[in-house]
Copies of this chain bind each other. A is one copy, B any other.
Amino acid sequence: MIKFRMATAKDLNEIVQMLADDELGRTRERYENPLPESYLKAFESIDSDLNNELIVACLGEEIVGVQQITFTPYITHQGGWRATIEGVRTASTERGKGIGTQLILWAIERAKERGCHIIQLTTDKKREEALHFYERLGFKATHEGLKMKL
């Protein structure tokens, strides 16, 4: 039985390990001991911001999934709040067990609790399976997701 909770600083090692253990993640994360300080600083910024939640999925004591949810008030859509999901990852040893689905369903419920009228995310066009996964859950790929590195 998977349980969900807010991440703590003690979870950071396991979280970064999961993020790095991925085709795209390994090119951009640095899972080292000790962790680069930038991870801890980002965690502190997230943890102190009521509009950001870093959520871990746990199987017993073990962390088997992670996602970040950002809640944003917008003027558009008559001043509606949106939830944005980012950094969704399931432990590579636990894939195919529906943990990713449970993570997203949890995020959808949390977004409703927070009064959001839209939940959204972007997914790299290289991750074809991820696109189908989200579409099966009811997301519509109505938008282009544009990025620029600074």
A149 touches B36 (CB 8 A): no
Give the CA-CA distance A78 to B87 in the complex, in Å.
12
A138 within 8 A of B: yes
| Least Cβ–Cβ distance between A116 and chain B, in angstroms | 6
Which residue of B has the minimal Cβ distance to A117?
B150
Which residue of B has the minimal Cβ distance to A122?
B143
| Least Cβ–Cβ distance between A47 and chain B, in angstroms | 10
Of the candidates A28, A131, A140, A146, the one having the most CB atoms from chain B within 10 angstroms of its own CB is: A146
A123 touches B143 (CB 8 A): yes
Mark out the residues of chain A between 125 and 150 whose CB falls within 8 Å of any chain B CB in the assembled complex: 125, 131, 134-135, 137-150
